[in-house]
Amino acid sequence: MIEKIIKTEDEWKKILTPEQYEVMRKRGTEAAFSCQWKRLGKGVYHCAACDLPLFRSQEKFESGTGWPSYFGPVVPENISEQKDLSFGMERTEVLCARCDSHLGHVFNDGPPPARIATRSVAGGPTGKRYCINSVALKFKSEK
């Protein structure tokens, strides 16, 4: 079980940039194709608010949507999902499991699984597309 981090909105405003606050705390969305980083090498993408490891670089793929896309989290326990009915759509919202920051959404149109299992041992494609706002992540390179 992940220990929750709970802060007031004023505390989050001191930690996050205005754009991060809008996306992560107010459930906004950054503009498509606005990601400041493209290929950063091998490493792990962490929650920009609480530093929880969320996605590995080897699970990142080019979806053509304009947002960073991943086919699975580092471990399922590090993210939570909830139904999102905003804007007249039914989607699945992805949140950081530790600080409840909005990360993006998950869709069932990602790369198809290479095996019958939901996820291969090597972390292969799952059929999922975790469409994540880049401002919600910070990259830590593996050395």
| Measured distance between the N- and C-terminal CA atoms of the chain, rounded to whole angstroms | 29
DSSP characters over 11-25: HHHHHS-HHHHHHHT
Q: How far is CA 122 from CA 52, 72, 74, 115, 117, in A?
A: 21, 12, 12, 11, 12
96 is a catalytic site residue = no
Q: Which residues are catalytic?
A: 131
